[in-house]
């Protein structure tokens, strides 16, 4: 069962890369980060390559590697490059593919396009990563509303961090979405913990992705 999934989050620093690594490992998938802004010596691609190691893993190079840790549109302006949606095409692979976005849905790529436009352009289902904090219900439901408005399929929600039943229940009730899996707080983030999480969650992930 080959899957193509776009991992996005309700905000920045929400755990997209950790969730991407777990999905990559659990599905024996390849990985692609279309845009990397800043941290070019410790990119998300490097992290996933280290954390999600499996025998056939291929990490595809970023389409844009921008030097400034900022919104892609601004980082591209500083680097004197222009990002266009037509610059992006899914890498060819016979395996599953995990694509990781940058920031949240409405992060600008240029003066008119956002990460949401890139999701629509690539036309693959989205995994939305949510994490509990004051305002996260609003941010999660707004993200879901934006995806639904653009008719972008949502494969499911991942709740990352300590369980918060009341928050999770109202999000699921109001959105009608399913939980792909819950990830409790990891004591450390490394190859061992990612591998263990992928092993524990693998059957649940595969089952939920196969549900219609």
Catalytic residues: 33
Burial class of residue 189 in the structure, from the number of CB atoms within 10 Å of its CB (0-12 exposed, 13-18 middle, 19+ buried) = middle
Find the helix or strand (DSSP H, E) in which 37 lies.
strand 35-37
Using DSSP's 3-state secondary structure scheme, residue 57 falls into: coil
Kindly write down the DSSP assignment for every residue of 111-163, as one continuous string. Answer: SS-BHHHHHHHHT--EEEEE--STTHHHHHHHHHHHHHHTT--EEEEEEESS-
Burial class of residue 92 in the structure, from the number of CB atoms within 10 Å of its CB (0-12 exposed, 13-18 middle, 19+ buried) = exposed
Are 79 and 68 within 8 A, CB to CB?
A: yes
Q: Which among 79, 96, 86, 74 is positioned nearest to 34, based on CA atoms?
A: 86
Are 11 and 103 within 8 A, CB to CB?
A: yes
Are 26 and 98 within 8 A, CB to CB?
A: no
Burial class of residue 173 in the structure, from the number of CB atoms within 10 Å of its CB (0-12 exposed, 13-18 middle, 19+ buried) = exposed
């Amino acid at each position: 069962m080959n899957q193509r999934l776009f991992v996005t989050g309700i905000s920045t620093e929400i755990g997209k890369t950790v969730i991407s690594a777990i999905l990559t490992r659990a599905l024996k998938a390849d990985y692609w980060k279309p845009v990397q802004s800043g941290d070019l010596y410790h990119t998300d691609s490097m992290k996933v390559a280290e954390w999600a190691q499996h025998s056939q893993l291929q990490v595809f190079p970023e389409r844009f590697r921008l030097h400034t840790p900022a919104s892609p549109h601004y980082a591209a302006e500083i680097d004197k490059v222009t990002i266009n949606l037509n610059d992006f095409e899914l890498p060819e692979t016979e395996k599953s593919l995990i694509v990781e976005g940058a920031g949240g849905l409405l992060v600008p790529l240029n003066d008119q396009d956002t990460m949401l436009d890139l999701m629509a352009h690539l036309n693959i289902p989205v995994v939305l990563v949510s994490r509990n904090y004051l305002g996260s219900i609003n941010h999660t439901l707004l993200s879901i509303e934006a995806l639904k408005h653009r008719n972008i399929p949502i494969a499911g929600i991942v709740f990352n961090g300590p369980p918060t039943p009341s928050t999770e229940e109202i999000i699921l009730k109001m959105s009608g979405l399913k939980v792909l899996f819950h990830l409790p707080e990891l004591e450390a983030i490394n190859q061992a913990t990612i591998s263990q999480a992928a092993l524990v969650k693998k059957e649940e992930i595969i089952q939920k992705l196969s549900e219609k």
